[in-house]
Amino acid sequence: MLNYSIYYQKGSSNDMDRSLILQKQLDRYAPICINTELTGVSEADRGALAVLIEAAMVIDEVFYLQVWYGNPALRDWLKEHSDISNLDKLKWMYYSINKSPWSCLDENEAFLTTADSAVKLLEKSTKAVPGWKGLEYKVAFPMIKPPGANFYPTDMDKKEFELWKSSLKDDQQQAATGFFDVIRRHSESILDASIGSETLSSAQQVVGSPHDLYSVPFSLEYKPLLIKAVELLKKAGDLTDTPSLERLLKGKADAFLSNDYYDSDIAWMELDSKLDVTLGPYETYEDTLFGYKATFEAYIGIRDEEATSKIKLFGDHLQVLEQNLPFDDSYKSKDVVAAPIRVMQLIYNAGDVKGPQTVAFNLPNDERIVKERGTSMVMMKNVSEAKFKHILQPIARTCITEEQREYIDFESFFTHTICHECCHGIGPHAITLPSGQKSSVRLELQELHSALEEAKADIVGLWALRFFIKQDLLPKSLLKSMYVSFLAGCFRSIRFGLEEAHGKGQALQFNWLFEKGAFVLHTDGTFSVNFEEIEGAVESLSTEILTIQARGDKAAAKSLLLVYGKMIEPLQVAMDKLETVQVPVDIAPIFNVGEVLRESR
């Protein structure tokens, strides 16, 4: 049964004040047109592209539902009312960026009030009465974003979940903690069935069950939407003339129905196509309760063959990096698989792409595949270029001391992004606990995993670049620029908010390096890199994080993030300066989908 309790948020009743606040929040995103030419794409693949964009729009619908049960109704209500006033327009614009009533850049604080809630008509909520359509409920959102998103019952806590999980068989436990199942209540199912005038016999049989929770696979929970996506993926698979793309699209369609994503993720890793497509449930950032459940996302772009050929170095040296990682050899993997790296020019994204935009991703997250096949990386070069030009360069002019600004360049920024994604594929994943039990870093660190993993990929990526330079695999001229560009990048990521995995992970790194004297604050409020201290500080933090992950030590992870993953005064100095000069926090991509579809025809 959906809970329609009314929640209230502090806020001004003055529309002018609210408009000013929302406009200021919107101004933190620089609207940037993302244009990509379809040069080199076959006529058949152009036809598939148009259908794939339609499929991505369906994926968007699934994601809205995953964030919060009332999200689709609220979205439709805000859109319908967006032309009534300037305030209504601003509400809709900011909601569209966040894809929820909670602001990504403000620690997920609600930016709407109860008055902005949607009205939902429930026709079957009572007995039919002539001339009466049914009950109208206000779908009011909680001021505090539900930590379990829409993956768990809103009133479920960790203790109840763990008690239920301990009663399950091994295969049932895998579903409970796996990526592709939601958790629901038998009692709510009974009530929903009664409202729908359905028979209660089967539901009533579970009333006496000692546990109220049960798992539902994504394939059933989102069945109506996934069936639409399946039809479109199969159609696109029939249209393309690229065999590996056809295999991926039809394999993903099968996975949507079976809830088994293993084969389709292998097909994604083996994709050799001018059209680069990533589509399905992958990241677990929305599940801040445990970090178990995956959200749906879609990225569609054109493979940049020239840029891809230039970065083969990184994928070819993953095992060498693993062997030389700065932590105990007993934790190191002997069979790291070289990760393919693909660079693309993004055409369209959907689903879990809210708020700050990612420039790259490393998938899949399935530990079985990571152990057997490694991972594959996708870099979106046009998104990186937009962020560097509109965000990182203005940050450097504001926060980096004048004599070190010359070291800020796109090559360093993009190269570290590549190394960041590579380093997701090395280090601890599947682990053995001190008790001898087999587990994984994700399962042991739970809700802390995402922030610590992002910090690991960042700091170990910086360590790895230094390693490559020492091995003469990268030019020495990159050394200073990579450290200074990283410093500027710290301020960029921390502005995403400390509730966001990348932002919290970046705060951890900045504060550690600042404490070790690797970053220096000057009297004019600018920062510089201490080149004599930076190498040792990077290595010590890499060792700390890798060891915590290898041991599955959640208590140590919590302590590290508590001590270092916070806003300290020097950081606040930089944040205040950037606020004063109004440097955008991130970009808001504008996709010219109409033009792409016209080209496809």
Please name every residue paired with 345 in a beta bridge, in sequence order, or none if there are none: 302
For 162, 182, 194, the CA distances from 211, given in Å and listed in that order, are 11, 16, 20
Residues 484 and 548 in one domain: yes
- Contact by Cβ (8 Å): 9, 77: no
Does 107 share its domain with 52? no
Residue at a domain's end among 124, 145, 166: 145
Is 193 a domain residue? Answer: no
The CATH number covering residue 252 comes to: 3.30.540.30
pLDDT of 198 strictly over 70: no
Reported pTM: 0.82
Specify if 52 maps to a domain.
yes
Which of 145, 166, 199 is the endpoint of a domain? 145
- Please state, in angstroms and as integers, the Cα–Cα distance from residue 119 to each residue in 55, 72, 214, 372, following that order: 28, 12, 30, 49
Considering the domain architecture, whether residues 250 and 268 belong to the same structural domain is answered as yes
Residues 77 and 59 in one domain: no
Within this chain, do residues 38 and 159 fall inside the same structural domain, yes or no? yes
Mean pLDDT of 95-112: 95
Given this model, what pLDDT does residue 8 score?
37
**195: in domain:** no
Same domain, 35 and 126: no
How wide is the angle at C-alpha 254 spanned by C-alphas 253 and 260, nearest 5°?
120
Q: Which two tokens stand for residue 573?
A: 């100095």
Whether 194 is in a domain gets the answer no
Tell me the two tokens of residue 403.
């004599």
pLDDT surpassing 50 at residue 5? no
Domain assignment present for residue 536? The answer is yes
Q: Is residue 258 part of a domain?
A: yes
Radius of gyration of the chain (CA): 24
The CA-based diameter of the chain, rounded to the nearest angstrom, is: 82
- Confidence category of residue 126, pLDDT binned at 50, 70, 90: low
Q: Is 216 within a domain?
A: yes
DSSP 3-state assignment of 374?
A: coil
Q: Assess whether pLDDT exceeds 90 at residue 205.
A: no
Q: How many structural domains does the chain have?
A: 3
Q: Could you say which of 145, 167, 202 is where a domain stops?
A: 145
230 and 222 in contact (C-beta within 8 Å)?
Answer: no
Residues 51 and 115 in one domain: no
Residue 326 above 90 pLDDT? yes
Average pLDDT along the chain: 89
Mean pLDDT value across residues 25-51 = 94
CA distance 60 to 570: 39
397 and 353 within one domain:
no
Residues 419 and 287 in one domain: no
**Dist. CA 233–CA 581, nearest whole Å:** 46
Domain check: are 181 and 219 in the same one?
yes
How many Å apart are CA 360 and CA 379, to the nearest integer? 4
**Phi, psi dihedral angles at 273 (to 5 degrees):** -150, 150
Which residues have CB under 8 Å from 196's CB, separation 6+?
124
Beta bridge partners of 103: 109
Give CA–CA dist 343/365, Å, rounded: 19
Q: Is the pLDDT of residue 208 over 60?
A: no
How far is residue 34 CA from its own chain's centroid?
20
According to the model, what pLDDT value does residue 121 have?
Answer: 75
pLDDT classification of 190: cutoffs 50, 70, 90: low
Q: Are residues 425 and 559 part of one domain? A: yes
* Residue 181 Rama label (left phi>0; alpha psi -120 to 50; beta): beta
Q: Look up the domain containing 428 and give its range.
A: 324-339+380-589
Eight-state DSSP code of residue 400: B
Residues 335 and 361 in one domain: no
The answer to whether position 314 is within a domain reads no
More confident site: 334 or 162: 162
